[in-house]
Amino acid sequence: MQLRNIFNISIKALSRSKLRTLLTVLGVLVGISSVTIIISAGNSVEALIFKQIEGFGSNYIQTEVRVPKGSGGTTSMVQGVVISTLKEKDRQDFLDLENIDKAYGAVITQDIISWQGELNKVMIYGVGSSYIDIDTTEIDQGRFYTEDEDDSKARVIVLGSKVKEDLFGPSDAIGENVKINKINFKVIGVAKPRGAVFTFDLDDMVFIPVKTTQTALMGINYLSAITSQMVDSSIEEETAEQMRMILRENHDIDDPDKDDFEVMSGTEAMEMMATILGGMTILLVVLAGLSLLVGGVGIMNIMYATVAERTFEIGLRKAVGASPKDILQQFLIESIIITFLGGVFGIILGIIVIYGVYIGANYYGMEWPLSISWLGILLAIGFSVVVGLIFGLYPARKAARLDPITALRKE
């Protein structure tokens, strides 16, 4: 029998049980849409994170404090432990390296900023003057502070665009004095809008010379991080190792396992995030694949029940000349049609969800990239057909092996 005729017979058979066919298709649809959404969302998250990492600048190496291994954590403060060993001397020693062009120290804190009765809780980013040369922040009004102002602990401040808007509205902020912790700071600049980078809203942040922040606002003499810009990024690993050696010498560390710092290049940060995201995506795809397998089991059960219900029909078709191969092909095609329909509609639903997330995220100010993984879609379609073949094979073989006389007597 021609395959086209078998296909037409399969379509008619499925159309006679519309509700059952629809429910089976829905089982496959959920799994396929999950695979499509997960792979595409993984690509979007990866693109978003990489873009945000690049937003901190290029050709840089980041040095941060951390609790040594075995001390219960990897941050600057864990269970009351404060790491205060990263100092200005470390930054100066980095600058002596041939491949380091610029470097700035940084600390971060929160406080209330006020102007003429207007109050706003802001993130205070105490950074050195080289920040503006390394980072991608740009000044919209006024200027950034100088190295002399940092060294002299000048009480000057650069406002994020949102802070300026909240405090001053349309009024000019340059030259005005704002108060933080009862201390006056002169506004010398306003940064251009940048949005959020990871959990930091850079528009709701103010920039103050790091030495001023240390002494006037925090009462400390250490740094939380040092960001260094390289001349040649092709030798970043060698440069990072040189920085580790400097820090171990300055901090009297003999055992690398007791490092109280973390040195990481932008490339290493991206590779680490790619590994983490890749692992998470694989895990989620496996979970979505399990839902597809559940859908496959449902197909097998329904096709098995269908064979039992259509025993007389199978016997009659065999009696008028249909071969076991024809019966086998018919029931396999029915399984493939069900999974293929589930795959197609699952992909459509997945794309709709992905597009909805894209619109919603961007509506709320998150620069979420639209990413539809065509490879994921092809894999989902292929997987759906394979599921149909595998889980439809046993019922199809059972139907093909029915004895026509026995099947006719069944009725």
Tokens 């930054």 — which residue?
Answer: 91
Do 129 and 177 reside in the same domain of the chain?
yes
Q: Report the pLDDT value the prediction gives residue 212, as an integer from 0 to 100.
A: 96
The last residue of one of the domains, among 239, 259, 279, is 259
The answer as to whether 160 is a domain residue is yes
Do 77 and 112 have their domain in common?
Answer: yes
* Least confident among 83-92, 111-120, 139-148, 313-322: 313-322
Residue bearing tokens 């980013």 = 125
Domain check: are 201 and 240 in the same one?
Answer: yes
Strand partners for 118: 115
| Structural tokens at position 392 | 């439809």
Number of structural domains the chain divides into: 2
- Percentage of the chain lying above the pLDDT 70 cut: 77
Q: Please report, in angstroms and rounded to a whole number, the separation of the first and last CA atoms in the chain.
A: 25
Secondary structure, 3-state, the chain: CCHHHHHHHHHHHHHCCHHHHHHHHHHHHHHHHHHHHHHHHHHHHHHHHHHHHHCCCCCEEEEEECCCCCCCCCCCEECCEECCCCCHHHHHHHHCCCCEEEEEEEEEEEEEEEECCEEEEEEEEEECCCHHHHCCCCEEEECCCCHHHHHCCCCEEEECHHHHHHHHCCCCCCCCEEEECCEEEEEEEEECCCCEECCEEHHHEEEEEHHHHHHHHHCCCCCCEEEEEECCHHHHHHHHHHHHHHHHHHCCCCCHHHCCEEEEEHHHHHHHHHHHHHHHHHHHHHHHHHHHHHHHHHHHHHHHHHHHHCHHHHHHHHHCCCCHHHHHHHHHHHHHHHHHHHHHHHHHHHHHHHHHHHHHHHHCCCCCCCCCCHHHHHHHHHHHHHHHHHHHHHHHHHHHCCCHHHHHHHC
CA 220 from chain centre, in angstroms, equals 35
Q: Are residues 91 and 231 in the same domain?
A: yes
Same-domain status, 210 and 177? yes
Average pLDDT over residues 25-32: 77
223 within 8 A of 106, measured Cβ to Cβ? yes
Q: Quickly count: other Cβ atoms within 10 Å of residue 19's Cβ.
A: 7
| Domain assignment present for 210 | yes
Question: Can you tell me which residue has the tokens 């629809």?
Answer: 22
pTM greater than the 0.85 cutoff: no
Cα Rg for the chain, rounded, in angstroms? 32
Per-residue pLDDT tens digits for 76-112 = 444 456 788 999 999 999 999 999 999 999 999 999 9
Confidence label for 365 from pLDDT (cuts 50, 70 and 90): low
105 found inside a domain? yes
Tokens for 296, please give them: 């496959």
Question: Considering only CA atoms, which of 274, 260, 266, 276 is closest in space to residue 74?
Answer: 260
Residue 58 is assigned to a structural domain of this protein:
no
* Whole-number pLDDT of residue 85: 92
Name the pLDDT band for 115 (thresholds 50, 70, 90): very high
Which of the pair, 230 or 362, is modelled with greater confidence?
A: 230
Which is more confidently placed, 96 or 200? 96
pLDDT at 222: 95
The DSSP bridge pattern shows strands 139-142 and 100-115 to be unpaired
Q: 102 to each of 53, 95, 97, 147, 223, how far by Cα in Å? A: 19, 7, 10, 12, 16
Residue 61 lies in a domain: no
Average pLDDT, the chain: 81
User: Pick from 259, 290, 320: which residue ends a domain?
Assistant: 259
Q: Are 19 and 127 part of one and the same domain?
A: no
Inter-residue contact 281 to 38 (CB < 8 Å): yes
Given this model, what pLDDT does residue 184 score? 96
Query: Do 188 and 150 fall within a single domain?
Result: yes
- Would you say residue 59 lies in a domain? no
| Same domain as 196, residue 275 | no
Between 197 and 21, name the one with better pLDDT: 21
Q: Residues 92, 157: one domain? A: yes
Identify the pLDDT of residue 75.
Answer: 46
CA nearest neighbour of 247 among 92, 113, 142, 377: 92
C-alpha dist (Å) from residue 211 to 60, 76, 106, 129: 22, 19, 9, 10
Range of the domain at 114: 67-259
Instruction: Check whether residue 102 and residue 72 sit in a common domain.
Output: yes
Q: Are residues 49 and 73 in the same domain?
A: no
Q: Is 30 exposed, middle or buried (0-12, 13-18, 19+ CB in 10 A)?
A: middle
Sorted by sequence, the CB contacts under 8 Å of residue 312 that are 6+ apart come out as: 407, 408, 410, 411
211 shares its domain with 178: yes
pLDDT at 155 over 60: yes
Q: Which of 205, 231, 259 is the last residue of a domain?
A: 259
